[in-house]
Amino acid sequence: MPSPYRALFAAPGTKGFSAAGLLGRMPLSMMGIGVVTMISQLTGRYGLAGALSATIALAAAAIGPQISRLVDQHGQRRVLRPATLVALTSAAGLLLSAHFGWPDWVLFVCAAGIGSVPSLGAMIRARWAALYRGTPQLHTAYSFESVVDEVCFIFGPIISIGLSTAWFPEAGPLLAACFLATGVFWLTAQRSTEPEPHPREKQGGGTALRARGLQVLVATFVATGTIFGSVDVVTVAFADERGHKAVASLVLALYAAGSCVAGVVFGLLHFKGAAGRRWLLGICAMAVSMIPLLLVGNLPFLAVALFVAGLSIAPTMITTMSLIEEHVPRAQLTEGMTWVSTGLAVGVALGSSVAGWVIDAAGARAGYGVPAVSGAVAVAVGFLGYRRLSRPAPRRGGTVEQHSEREERHVA
């Protein structure tokens, strides 16, 4: 491991909470696809399977920021354990109702309850921020966490689908629930690195979404999430049309692998200047990388195009986390990070449904027009809101870039 990453774990407790975060985040990529695989195998109803997966995603988008807001106020341990118990109980109900053929409304109620799963990525990043706030190491920490996210998305679906198809239909979601329970309870047992809570009276009331800069980030990431959701669906359909549906998971793994590689390299670099400009450049790169997908004619070309497209994802996400720290009050940092994840989740659900409609109407190749249009929308929103991002709100604490510039002036 390169020295900047090795140096991250010199602080006591960092290895423990990072490992817990890895386990706890695996369900993010396993649960939805696991439910789709399980329901399609047990009932053969792909429409029901997709609707349940969308219900989980939308419920998490609605409930997640509220859980994170409570975490900022009361601490991770007091909030995450009850929320996780609700999600685990709901997951157990979903597995049982699917296995025994209970009414569809029971499935949907349980799927909505799974939406109470906490955003472990935001919790881990909040711990890194509390530990390294105002130092260049925070940039490296955010880069490392983006790599962890991509590792989860590379291996999570493969494990979930593989278990449900090779063992028994409920195996994928069941393992995802076990990962969630282990990760959350292990993380919340580590009290020494838990960020200090900020009661409501110290926050001054209101939600983190009142921050104008965060509004731009969330709106842009709805469009970005639409890219991700549509690329997944269209790629599966594209491979299926060519008689190699099983290859779709490997092609999508290359998409995540490109982001993973870029995240590792990005964490080794140190930047000067405004983070907002780098963020806007990343959004533009993501949009431009969708254009070659319109020209794909075979799976090898698609795999290469998606790997290249993935190179812009992690750097953009890493810069987004730095911008959240600039624009959101420190007492609402976890909630702010979760709002961006919420925007992505809404976009993924939207992209999946729109892409499916386009595929049914015009075929898989035409479906790649959905991420291309979504990229253009993301760029438009980014440019329209750039002025908000270029004006950090007061009383936010030092960012990585500001700290580096102060150090350089001091040395000079």
**Could you tell me if residue 215 is inside a domain?**
yes
Q: Is the pLDDT confidence value at 148 over 70? A: yes
Looking at the 3D structure of the chain, how many domains does it have?
2
Q: How far apart are CA 291 and CA 307, in angstroms?
A: 14
CA atoms within 13 A on the CB side of 114: 29
- Examine the domain organization and report whether 121 and 216 are in the same domain: no
Looking at 160, 181, 197, the residue that finishes a domain is 197
* Exposure b/e, 172-207, CB count within 10 A at least 16 = b: bbbbbbebbbebbbbbbebeebbbebbeeeebeeee
**Could you tell me if residue 325 is inside a domain?**
yes
Predicted local distance difference test score (pLDDT) of residue 395: 47
The one-letter amino acid code at 179 reads: F
**Could you tell me if residue 1 is inside a domain?**
no
- Examine the domain organization and report whether 99 and 113 are in the same domain: yes
**Could you tell me if residue 252 is inside a domain?**
yes
**196 contacts: CB under 8 Å, gap ≥ 6:** 75, 130
In this structure, what token pair is assigned to residue 73?
A: 């106020």
Q: How far apart are CA 54 and CA 50, in angstroms?
A: 6
CA distance to 100, 185, 306, per residue, from 80 (Å): 30, 8, 35
- Examine the domain organization and report whether 152 and 209 are in the same domain: no
Q: Is the pLDDT confidence value at 204 over 70? A: no
Q: Which of 51-55, 154-158, 171-175, 201-205 has the highest mean pLDDT?
A: 171-175
pLDDT in tens, 213-253: 888 999 999 999 899 888 887 887 888 788 876 677 788 88
Q: Is the pLDDT confidence value at 276 over 90? A: no
pLDDT in tens, 311-368: 999 899 888 888 887 888 877 888 888 888 888 878 887 887 788 788 878 888 888 9
Domain holding 23, by residue range, is 13-197
**256 contacts: CB under 8 Å, gap ≥ 6:** 150, 153, 154, 310
The CATH number of the domain where 248 resides is what?
1.20.1250.20
